[in-house]
Amino acid sequence: MKKYLIVGLGNIGEEYDDTRHNIGFDALNAFAHKRTLKFEEVRLGSMAKVRHKGRLLHLLKPSTFMNLSGKAVRYWMTQEKIPLENILVITDDLNLPFGTLRLKTKGSDGGHNGLKDIQAQLNTVRYPRLRFGIHSENKTPNTVDFVLGRWTPSETEKLPERLLQIENIILSFCTQGSANTMNAFNGQ
């Protein structure tokens, strides 16, 4: 059975709930909720597992805080013997307009500390990542305050549809592969 590691980036703690930086956690929570999956505390995070069309998906929310996410990714990739191309990291992207979803199989960290640590821990920039745009015209001058800020009412209203699209991308990635998924979803 093919295994996949789907990693939602975020920070643990109630003070980070519903913040832009935690979109990875939000995506996995929505995915799990729809399937009534429960996350269990595991080493370096919390995890839920689900089978889908002959594949086993490990949904991981690292507990290492954003800047040390790579440690959890590397540990579970090694522990479950999951190949690099079967890892999908879901993260926020300050450079993309709100709600834009972009799947890439390689690339720079774009200044994102979570991706920077994953790149360092895996010693490569060649791993799939799904970027969720959080850029807003109402962005505060302080980047840290903005990414750790809560969604606006307008953004909150649009989130359920975007989270559903992330779910579709996850399932496509695991069944159709990254190239077909990029062709089907990038640019929407």
CA distances from 52 to 49, 93, 174 (A): 10, 28, 8
CA distances from 15 to 11, 115, 148, 150 (A): 9, 22, 9, 10
Judge whether 33 counts as a catalytic residue.
no
Q: Report the C-alpha gap between 138 and 24 in whole angstroms.
A: 22
Cα 1 to its chain centre, rounded Å, is: 23
In 3D space, the residue among 144, 130, 131, 133 whose CA is nearest the CA of residue 97 turns out to be 133
| Geometric angle at alpha carbon 173, from 81 and 97, rounded to 5° | 120
H-state helical runs in the chain: 23-34, 69-79, 113-122, 143-147, 153-176, 178-185
The closest alpha carbon to 8, from 49, 56, 66, belongs to 66
Spatial CA neighbour of 117 closest among 17, 7, 4:
7
Q: Which residues are catalytic?
A: 21
